[in-house]
Amino acid sequence: MLVMVLRKTLNLKHAFTISRGTKTDVENVIVNLEHNGLSGWGEASANDRYNESPETTINALAAMIDALSGPCDDKQIKELLALVPGQYAAQAAMEMALLDYRGKQLKLPLYQHWGLDPKDMAPTSMTIAMAEPQQMAIHAREASDFKILKIKLGASNDRAMIQAIRAVTDQKLRVDANEGWLDREAAAREIDWLATQGVELVEQPMPAAQLEDAIWLKSRSILPLIADEAFTTPDSINTLQDGYHGINVKLQKCGGILAARQSIEQARAQKMSVMLGCMVESSLGISAAAHLAPLADYLDLDGHLLVTNDPFDGLEMREGYLHFNNKFGLGVTPNQEIMRPEDCPTSKDEDMLEEFS
Ligand code: MG
């Protein structure tokens, strides 16, 4: 099995500001497996919130590639990922590539392999990052194809941002404070006010570490509260049910599709709702999550729509819904205009590619 790893910078359409800071691009890591004429693709979006970087991700991938002898079943995948504990983005990318390969081998899209029906997919929200309120209103208008907007808050002028957006659209709104509200009484007042503005739910209102405050807030919140930064892996769910109504599951955060499925099952057992979310990822990583989308209540799978140079094709967005193309595996192909020839698997340019066999 030939494996290649490459770095890919994704450029953001608009500066992406959340309560923690601003980004204009992200550097993701792409994995490609080649075996018996079939390929498998995976993507890692390393997150510094969880002490990951492209470098730690590439090191973790190298450790797994060293131990990889060929296609894997679920048990072998689990053993492989266990070699790099805590390297969630690398685990997600490696598993994605192996499952993409498996789908192509079985000649099935992955959702079909798992017996899921894309007709059960909810519409996805589109994220509006923090900016000057009038600028956010312009971005909201640009997103008129979507049924739901997810608004990033957690600044001193949160209400002005919501008011500016509400002035231009009746779309359903969700709010993500990204741990930006530090005082629980103030958070409770914000939630009461947001409920009067047609906001459906609030994601990670307060810092993940403040579980006692989350429990207090849940007991009086009239809107559902969703744990994002507070939720990483399936074993963290037990401690979260008192503080949140639901969890935001991301492949890059929990270490891949199989861990995401396990998280969803566990959330259901605790009667918690499930959002399926993403990092800034190309159509590759977003497609991988979308194959699980029929299992989620809320979808926030818009990462590929935030970038100007998506290196993969596969998903289509129509009227707020994601659609698959019925290709096998993840259903994605490299976009030849964006992926330079030296980025493609047949290249021998070793300056750009780190090649393992
Ligand atoms: Mg979030």
pLDDT digits (tens, 9 = 90+) for 218-243: 999 999 999 999 998 888 898 999 99
Quick one: pLDDT at residue 340? 65
Quick one: pLDDT at residue 290? 98
Task: Calculate how far, in angstroms, residue 299's C-alpha sits from the geometric centre of ligand 1.
Answer: 12
Phi, psi of 254 (to 5 degrees): -105, -5
Task: Calculate how far, in angstroms, residue 111's C-alpha sits from the geometric centre of ligand 1.
Answer: 25
Task: Calculate how far, in angstroms, residue 150's C-alpha sits from the geometric centre of ligand 1.
Answer: 9
Contacts of 243 (CB under 8 A, 6+ apart): 211, 214, 215, 217, 218, 225, 227, 230
CA distance 173 to 170: 9
Task: Calculate how far, in angstroms, residue 201's C-alpha sits from the geometric centre of ligand 1.
Answer: 12
Q: Which amino acid is at 186?
A: A
Task: Calculate how far, in angstroms, residue 326's C-alpha sits from the geometric centre of ligand 1.
Answer: 29
The sign of the dihedral angle between the CA atoms of 275, 280, 285, 286 is positive
Task: Calculate how far, in angstroms, residue 204's C-alpha sits from the geometric centre of ligand 1.
Answer: 7
Q: How many residues does the chain have?
A: 357
Low-confidence ranges of the chain (pLDDT < 50): 346-357
Task: Calculate how far, in angstroms, residue 124's C-alpha sits from the geometric centre of ligand 1.
Answer: 14
Task: Calculate how far, in angstroms, residue 203's C-alpha sits from the geometric centre of ligand 1.
Answer: 6
Task: Calculate how far, in angstroms, residue 178's C-alpha sits from the geometric centre of ligand 1.
Answer: 6
Task: Calculate how far, in angstroms, residue 49's C-alpha sits from the geometric centre of ligand 1.
Answer: 12
Task: Calculate how far, in angstroms, residue 229's C-alpha sits from the geometric centre of ligand 1.
Answer: 7
Task: Calculate how far, in angstroms, residue 2's C-alpha sits from the geometric centre of ligand 1.
Answer: 35
Task: Calculate how far, in angstroms, residue 300's C-alpha sits from the geometric centre of ligand 1.
Answer: 9
For 106, 206, 310, the CA distances from 59, given in Å and listed in that order, are 30, 33, 24
Place of tokens 């861990």: 259
Quick one: pLDDT at residue 273? 98
Task: Calculate how far, in angstroms, residue 95's C-alpha sits from the geometric centre of ligand 1.
Answer: 23
